[in-house]
Structure 1
Amino acid sequence: MRDTIEPRPRGVATHRWILFLGLLMLVGVALRAGPAAAQVAWSALSLDEALAEAQETGQLVLVDVFSDHCGGCGEQEAQVWSTMDGAVAVQGLIPLKLDSGSAAGQALARRYPVTGLPTVMALDPDGAEIDRIVGYTRKSEFLDQMALLRSGVDPVPELEEQLAANPGDGELTLRVLQKYLDRQRLPEAQVLIERAVVLDPDGKAMLAERALSALARYQDYFLLDPAAADATWRRLAEGYPESSSVGAAIKETFDYAKSNGQLEAWVTWACGLTAKHPEAGRLSYNVAIFASRSQLRGACLAEAARNAKRLGVGPAWMDSIAVVLESK
Structure 2
Amino acid sequence: MKIDAEKGEGIELAKQFGVRGFPTIIIANENGQEVDRIVGYMPPEPFLEKLNQIKNGINTMPTLLGELELDPTKFSTLFKLANKYENMNDKASAREMINAILEAGTDSSGAAAFQSILYDARETRDPTPLITYADKNPDSENSSAALEEAMWFVRGIGDDPDLEADLFIRFVNGMKEPNPGLLNGFAWRMSELEKNLDHALEKVNWAIENEADEKNKHMYIDTKAEVLWKMGRVEEAIAEIEKCISFDSEDKYYGEQLEKFQKSQNPA
TM-score, with structure 1 as normaliser: 0.41
Query: Normalising by the residue count of structure 2, what TM-score does the alignment of the two structures yield?
Result: 0.48
Q: Which has the higher helix share?
A: 2
> Which structure is richer in relative contact order (CA contacts within 8 A, separation 6 or more)?
1
